[in-house]
Amino acid sequence: MRLNKWINQKFLQSISTRIDVKNDYSLKSQQSIKLSVITQFFPPDYAPTGQLIEELVKQLGQQGVDIEVFTSQPGYAFDSHTAALPVERMGRIRVQRSRTAQLWPGRIRGKAVNGILYTLRAALYLLRAWRRSNVLLVTTAPPFLPVIGYLAHMLFRIPYVCILYDLYPDIAIALGVISKHNWIARLWRAINRQVWLNAKGIVVLSPAMKQQVLANCPQVADKISVIHSWANPELIVPIPKQENWFALEHKLVDKFTVLYSGNMGRCHDMATMLEAAQELQDEPIQFVCIGGGAKRDELIQQVNELGLLNFTFLPYQDKQVLPYSLTACDLSLVSVDASTESLVVPSKLYSALASGRPIAVICSEYSYLRELVAEAECGGTFDNGDSHALAQFIRLLSRDRQLGERMGKAGRQYLRSHFTPKIISQQYLDVLQQAILSDDAIAMSQSHTK
């Protein structure tokens, strides 16, 4: 009995020691992270990816990570005459902004050229500043930016992690911009494979995006982490429309309001919403579209041609206005075009959850969004093109306000349990720590073999 007791004590001491060592090593790794984030968009720009990155780096900074962000002057849906500080400090975060180009704004070739120019500036930045970091976080804003991570790894042996917001060239192919067998598409995919194979971590925003990456490069299965976008429920708090200055200012209080807030781009289904609005045009229901994008002008033209009076179009709103604009509605609308399913993820979904309003999602029957909405019990999902079902759902909520209230509360609670900045930033921190640990392990292995 004494022998067994002694063995058990030694075993428990051994386990405790291992845990302490692991925790100490993890803490040491966390404190030693010197992170460079490279992304074209960052506040005060309106781009959703930039706002997400800002919240992420603030959370990581609070957890002891030293961060330098290399970004561009505002250029996305922003007054090009307004400049932000070229260098800015926010606690442990240093933000450096390069110049921005505004060639052919709003057009695909303009975005491509402007993205290439920013990528070249990012390369020059790394040549000067690579010693200041021990891990890179690169986004797909612009889409070919992860090449910078690959070059930094090849030249300076810096480990890098990629955040894949959008999957290119797959999106360009789905939208008919280039063909699947075009030499640009083949070259782009070849470059993607090299970038992904050499990355220490790959972050995608949905399970469907993970499957799409694996279809193109199955060898990176162990590197991929599915980390959702998020919203801050402390910033976006439900406000009754009668007490909401934004709703009062735009005369939205007395009508059931359906809100689409964000990019109206080529990857979003605007047609289903338009047809539903046409069916509901004689009812006290107002559609409000806030934002910009390639389909915005086309949608306004169609609304005018149809003579619809149940639409209000507003520009992108400053971040400090979002808590009011996002809650100045009775239903939030999210849409993804069927052709780009699994290639993009609508970040507007998460802010809609935070708003405490029910959500209607237009997507393909295979979308992961259907499972998420069903699990959260926060609204309804509708096939692309099924405008009648969407109109019926809007009618139902306009007549049963308590149902909408229950859905909104359920969605907000689901967000608080799964998709807050604190929860998501910890998942990113784990990926960054693993990138550094695996790089250290490789370095140690190479030193032992010499």
* Positive/negative CA dihedral, 352, 356, 362, 364: positive
**pLDDT in the model for residue 442:** 53
Confidence class for position 28, pLDDT limits 50, 70, 90: very low
**pLDDT in the model for residue 20:** 44
Q: Judging by DSSP bridges, how do beta strands 331-335 and 311-314 pair with one another?
A: unpaired
Min mean pLDDT across 360-364, 379-383, 409-413, 439-443 is at 439-443
**pLDDT in the model for residue 440:** 54
Q: Is the pLDDT of residue 3 over 70?
A: no
Min mean pLDDT across 221-235, 243-257, 279-293, 434-448 is at 434-448
Q: What is the pLDDT of residues 150-171, one digit of tens each?
A: 999 999 999 999 999 989 999 9
**38 alpha-carbon distance from chain centroid:** 15
Neighbours of 112 (CB within 10 A): 17
**pLDDT in the model for residue 176:** 87
Distance CA 278, CA 391 (A): 9
Distance CA 335, CA 332 (A): 10
Distance CA 40, CA 99 (A): 10
Query: 381: helix, coil or strand?
Result: strand
Q: What is the pTM of this model?
A: 0.85
Q: What is the pLDDT of residues 56-111, one digit of tens each?
A: 999 999 988 999 999 988 865 545 446 788 889 988 899 999 876 555 455 556 56
Neighbours of 221 (CB within 10 A): 11
**pLDDT in the model for residue 129:** 84
| Phi, psi angle pair for 312, to nearest 5° | -125, 130
**How far lies 63's CA from each of 58, 430, 436, in Å?**
9, 12, 16
Domains of the chain, each with CATH number or no CATH? 31-230+421-449 (3.40.50.2000), 241-418 (3.40.50.2000)
For 107-236, where are the alpha helices, taking DSSP H only?
108-129, 146-156, 170-174, 183-198, 207-216
Q: Counting every residue, how long is the chain?
A: 450
Q: Which helix (H) or strand (E) holds 22?
A: helix 2-31
**pLDDT in the model for residue 443:** 52
Angle between helices 271-279 and 387-399 (to 10 degrees): 60
Q: Which two tokens stand for residue 164?
A: 């894949």
**174 alpha-carbon distance from chain centroid:** 20
